[in-house]
Amino acid sequence: MPERESVSRAPRRRSERARTAVLDATAALIEEVPYARLTVEAIAARAGVGKQTIYRWWPSRGAVVFDALLERSGGGDAALPDTGDLRADLSSFLRASAREMTAPSTDAFLRAVTVEILQDEAVALQYRQRLLTPQRAAVRQRLATAYDAGLLRDDVDLDVLVECLVGPVAGRWLLGSGALDDAYADAVVDVALRGAIR
């Protein structure tokens, strides 16, 4: 009796060339059209692939956009400098964050991802796991180094201190409530550390 052919098939491997084309197309379209008009069909047409190819690899438009953001940002590497000067290291980090967030191309990406986070829990989870949590963990690690060196008060809550540093920058960017520049980044660091330094 002949062997019955297996009904399960190995999943097709993602073509790196097609993946790159999709992510590049997404990045280009985000800069060219209002996000409300960005569709999977438009991405597929720009990338030269079928719409079904995108849906085979990504569950939603938001997932494609988030991967394109990670690709552009270098995968979400959030390491902080450690020069031995806590204030300078935190200012350097927040200044760089502010510059990146306000760069026109990155700003458009982040606003697109913000829209998706608010309406797609799967994208929100990926954002927290792959970008937000590593970034905050890096800030916390730098603070923990300072704490272990005796530079911070014994009763300081490092998690709250992280929020005091990154929260104002994110909030000002989201609301457009004022300039997001080096002076603001430095002011945030000064205020946050004022209650934490010994």
Q: What is the 3-state secondary structure (H, E, C) of 64-97?
A: HHHHHHHHHCCCCCCCCCCCCCHHHHHHHHHHHH
Q: Which of 26-35, 155-164, 178-187 has the lowest mean pLDDT?
A: 26-35
What mean pLDDT comes out for the span 14-43?
Answer: 92
What mean pLDDT comes out for the span 136-161?
Answer: 96
Query: Around Cβ 52, how many Cβ atoms within 10 Å?
Result: 10
What mean pLDDT comes out for the span 27-49?
Answer: 94
Question: Buried b vs exposed e over 137-159: b needs ≥16 C-beta within 10 Å?
Answer: ebbbebbebbbeeebbeeebebe
User: CA neighbours within 13 Å on the CB side: how many for 39?
Assistant: 6
DSSP annotation of 154 reads T
Residue 46 has pLDDT above 70, yes or no: yes
Q: What is the pLDDT of residues 4-24, one digit of tens each?
A: 333 333 345 558 899 999 999
Q: What is the pLDDT of residues 93-113, one digit of tens each?
A: 999 999 999 998 788 889 999
Q: Is the pTM value of this prediction over 0.85?
A: no
Does the domain at residues 16-57 carry the CATH identifier 1.10.10.60?
yes
Length of the chain: 198
Question: CA-CA distance, 186 to 61, in Å (whole number)?
Answer: 36
- At the topology level, CATH places domain 86-194 in Tetracycline Repressor; domain 2 (1.10.357)
Question: CA-CA distance, 113 to 66, in Å (whole number)?
Answer: 6
